[in-house]
Amino acid sequence: MSKILDAFNSGITIAKQMERNRCEINETLKDVFQQILNATDGRLQLSLYADRSSVFKKEYITANNPLVDSPFKVICEWLPDSQNGYPLKITMEHETWHCSTKEEIEDSLADIFARPSVALRFLDLINIEQTQA
């Protein structure tokens, strides 16, 4: 019987860690997205978009300007481990970041956001309001 209880307890421990991982990832994204929204006075909103149109579910971090009717621009692809949350991958322009902690997610997104190609997408969205006026 102890083999059964050991397996049961092991499963419970793993499930709890999975839930903590998912919560940490969600809270990290929420915090990053809020920081960007605040820094741009509400003119740049990041979100996680799930594309369910293909057989393989894909998720992307997208950006738009919620103050005007702006298009959503894809920033990068977001590939979490479907079971555990971690490790997760972020891909953009043939480059991949592997993340196993909150700090690695933040560092990876900081690296992506600092790239000129991404900054130009952000700037286009931030400035939409001024060009449409």
Q: How far apart are CA 74 and CA 5, in angstroms?
A: 47
pTM for the whole structure: 0.86
Q: Are 99 and 111 in contact (CB under 8 A)?
A: no
C-alpha 53, offset from chain centre: 19
What is the residue-level pLDDT of the chain in tens, covering all 133 positions?
689 999 999 999 999 999 999 999 999 999 999 999 999 999 999 999 988 776 777 899 999 999 998 999 999 999 987 778 889 999 999 999 999 999 999 999 999 999 999 999 999 999 986 555 4
CA max distance for the chain: 73
Q: Which residues of 13-38 are buried (b: 16+ CB within 10 A; e: fewer)?
A: eeeeeeeebbeebeebbeebbeebee
How far apart are the C-alpha atoms of 20 and 6, rounded to whole Å? 21
The answer to whether 65 and 75 are in contact (CB under 8 A) is: no
